[in-house]
Chain A
Amino acid sequence: MKDKFLINIVPGDTFLHKLSGSTKVRLFVVLLVFITMSFDLRLILPVFVLTLIGVISAKPNWKQVKVIMSVVIFFNLLNIFLFYVANPTVGEYWCNQLTIIGQLNNYFVFPVETFWYLFVRLIKMLTNFMVSLWFITTITPSEFAAGLYSLGVPYKVCTVVSLGFRYIPDIARDYENIKISMQLRGVEMDAKRTKISERLKQMVLILVPLIITSFDRVQTIANGMDLRGYGRNKKRTYYCEHESTNADKIFQFLTLLLFIFSIGYIMGVNIWPPQTNMWCPIDWR
């Protein structure tokens, strides 16, 4: 599990790494808005390809990426399957029509529109993942906080983000250690051999020490920060935030254009008239 975390503490040296924190955070936020706003494959696919190129150019640790990628693809496929089981005719809502090409029984029918919707949904989820992968592999927690601060977020909230980001690997390591020591004492953790009620009880067994060790640290960290004068002034500057380079300026300009386009799209398509369907390439009727 500890190999699954991609958060880096040390800045890297590729092109995307060298962009300033505020550029990366802006681009990330706008890309999220862009991905969230539509189920239109024509808009989603280019972002998927571009972020894929971004991830490759950032030269991440492929061994880690492969593990996390296989988990993500597995869970998304499982989710898609559950979505189908929950409502096999969900495509009718999105495409305003239903073309049934076969059926198992009266409930499990196979409409083309549902499959199209689930396919677009899968691509959308994977794009979402690529956007966050690109962001996570190129940013450090302090750059993230600096970027948020440049957007006008109060710096105590920025500290929550950077500090939380910083402590995720530590807490995950503690979780793993506690789990191993519980197993050493004979607690059965295998999902196949225990019932759900048993597993809930065992989770509490892991949780109590985890919570106590995590929150015991609070006072120590807070003292350390107070000693360094944290929270005395209203404003704050960030050591990692450098002046904008030419690349930063170009990226910020492109981000602004994308932002204006997204606002226009949300105004025009999502809010009025209310969006009730998605782009379907072929009229199957």
Chain B
Amino acid sequence: MKKSLGSLLLGKWDTPTVVAVAIGAALFGVLMNYGSITVFTNTRLTTAMLVPVIVGGLFGALPAAVACFFGNVFADLLGGWGYWFDWSTGNAVLGFLVGMLPVYGANIKEGKFDVKHAVIFAVIAVLANMVAFGVVTPIMTVLLYGGELTITFMQSFAASLSNITVLILAGIPLLYALAKRYAKGTNLSRE
């Protein structure tokens, strides 16, 4: 069953996807607040970054982006450090890029995730952070809040470094574990 690139990117918005995105966003909000270590002002080494990995792996890129965006808004709502929609947008872009797992053939639900996928995932994780926090967030910062780029760039640098650390050191083992878990139940083939 071959799916088109577009449907892999957009995801299928049926009820399980809606629920998974909602739970992913809630998880992102909770982990951003409690599952993280502050490394720089408003920037944390956060395990919330694993949410787009899972939602992307299971449901596609756009659901991961939506989960990240609302997850960041929830985190801002709970954390009380103010609303930073430049960062929410950056996170949405990051979620979209990181969540592209099914596009290059890593199908977690069927237990497909090997070394090749892990390497592509690592490269994309690095590139995605550079695009999301090196380009998108500063542009949004200028548009929405006017200037203040020194601190934004310092924050982006710290955020990218900590995100890449979390994505590679924790994301890849997690993907392996999930793929293994799903592989157990799927030696049936569709007829």
Which chain A residues have a beta carbon within 8 Å of chain B's beta carbons?
1, 4-5, 32, 35-36, 68, 71-72, 75-76, 78-79, 82-83, 86-87, 90, 93, 124-125, 128-129, 132-133, 136, 156-157, 159-165, 167-168, 170-172, 175, 196, 199-200, 203-204, 206-208, 210-212, 214-215, 217-219, 221-222, 225-226, 230-231, 270, 274-276
Contact = CB atoms under 8 A, between A and B. Distances in A.
Contacts of B23: 163-164, 167, 171, 214-215, 217-218, 221
B83 interface: yes
Interface residues of B, number: 57
Could you say which of A32, A87, A203, A225 has the most chain B C-beta atoms within 10 Å of its C-beta? Answer: A203
9 contacts: A32-B83, A36-B144, A86-B151, A90-B148, A128-B83, A164-B26, A175-B35, A218-B16, A275-B147
Interface stretch (B73-81, B95-103, B113-121): B73-81
Given A214-B27, A215-B20, A161 B82 contact: no
Contacts of A208: 174, 177
Given A32-B83, A164-B70, A215-B54, A132 B151 contact: no
B78 A168 contact: yes
Interface of B: 13-16, 18-23, 25-27, 29-31, 34-35, 37, 40-42, 45, 47, 50, 54, 58, 66-67, 70-71, 74, 76-83, 85, 144-148, 150-151, 154, 165-166, 169-170, 173-174, 177, 181
A71 to B, nearest CB: 7
Contacts of A86: 41, 150-151, 154
A28 B65 CA distance: 23
Contact of B30 (A75, A83, A175, A218): A175
Contacts of A133: 80
B50 A211 contact: yes
Given A36-B83, A270-B146, A276-B147, A83 B20 contact: no
A184 B159 CA distance: 32
A144 to B, nearest CB: 10
